[in-house]
Amino acid sequence: MLAQRVAQILQEVGDPEIPTVSIVDLGMVGAIQADGDRVLVELMPTFVGCSAQRIIQDQVTEKLREAFPTSTVAVRFELSQPWTSDRITKEGREALRKAGIAPPGASLDDVECPFCGHSSTVLQNLFGATSCRSLYYCSHCKNPFEAFKPL
């Protein structure tokens, strides 16, 4: 099916800030409509002010235009269904961990160290290098690390 092919192509688009995690696994892809003439993809912003949105939108558009040269391609960010951190897939959570970023827990206190897996971690700063991340310290392996904010 066409929509499945679109989803496969979107698997190759990573978050510019965390390139090893695809936007599909981050749960940012909403409705996909595709027929012979047009491909329409709705994306969901993780954080409204995230400056990576435009880059992601451009990358998705470019990839889809390459794959469907005769179709009209429309890619837009929508808020009708808000993105929440439980949309991140199992694969996405694993990929985040591999990138040294703890996947979001149920709350700010529910964070496992991505390096040693221990849960004796301390929130150091709610706000990290990007909107979606906080800074933590692992009291067990003594490493600082970043964690995805629950939203």
Residue 31 or 48: the one with the smaller Cβ distance to another protein is: 48
CB of 114 to another protein, least distance (A): 19
124 touches another protein by CB under 8 A: yes
- DSSP code, position 150: P
CB of 30 to another protein, least distance (A): 12
Helical H segments across the chain, by residue range = 2-10, 53-67, 90-98
Who contacts 19 (Cβ-Cβ below 8 Å, separation ≥6)? none
CA nearest neighbour of 102 among 114, 92, 90: 114
Structure tokens at 65: 């235009």
Residue 47 or 115: the one with the smaller Cβ distance to another protein is: 47
129 touches another protein by CB under 8 A: yes
Residues 37-66 contacting another protein, CB under 8 A: 45, 47-51
Cα 125 to chain centroid distance, Å, stands at 21
Task: List contacts with another protein (CB under 8 A).
Answer: 45, 47-51, 79-80, 82-84, 124-131, 135, 149, 151
